Amino acid sequence: MRKYSLFLLILGALNIQAQDSASAPQIRVSGFLDVFYCYDLNRPSGPSRQSFFYNHNRHNEFNLNLGIIKLDVEHEKYRANLALQAGTYVTDNYTQVPDMLKNVFEANMGLSLNKKNDLWLDAGILTSHIGFESAITSENWTLTRSILAENSPYYFSGAKLSYTPNDK
């Protein structure tokens, strides 16, 4: 019951802040596709190349490693993100995640906590801030993937409090 109470409280705060402000929120839709073909000269017996890698791990076939579609809502007083994912990376790396949540890449909402809109509280499923690697290959700082990062999802769930003192 507490989970639903917190959710209703957040929705109520969003409604109150939306009525106070005359500006409309910005809504953006974006996407990402990582398509690949790989041929392993070792010719593995099954469709997967290695059991410990989750990216680009199919032998002799064209495939979708990761596809993401994202809805982003931004207002001066609130913000929200919902990104859904699919592909072989999701199938291989999220085997222990319940089916309903397996395709969620990001799902969070945030509220401005002051009049200057520089103090924010965000909660939900957030993208990981740890390390140099990401599930999105174009955001990787290195061209390779470490085995440590390869065996973990690139997200965390919870809440974060952030403060931006100025634009710099």
* pLDDT band at residue 125 under the 50/70/90 scheme: very high
pLDDT of residue 91: 87
Amino acid letter for position 139: E
pLDDT of residue 123: 97
Query: How does strand 61-74 pair with strand 78-86?
Result: antiparallel
For the chain, the domains span 25-163
> What pTM was computed for the model?
0.77
Q: Where are the beta strands (DSSP E) in the chain?
A: 26-38, 61-74, 78-86, 104-112, 119-127, 155-163
Q: Is the pLDDT of residue 22 over 70?
A: no
pLDDT of residue 5: 55
- How much is the average pLDDT of 12-40? 78
Which position has the token pair 């440590």?
Answer: 148
The segment with the largest mean pLDDT, out of 14-18, 24-28, 39-43, is 24-28
Query: pLDDT tens digits, residue range 42-99?
Result: 888 877 777 667 777 888 889 999 999 999 999 999 999 999 999 998 888 888 888 8
**Pairwise CA distance, residues 44 & 62, whole Å:** 16
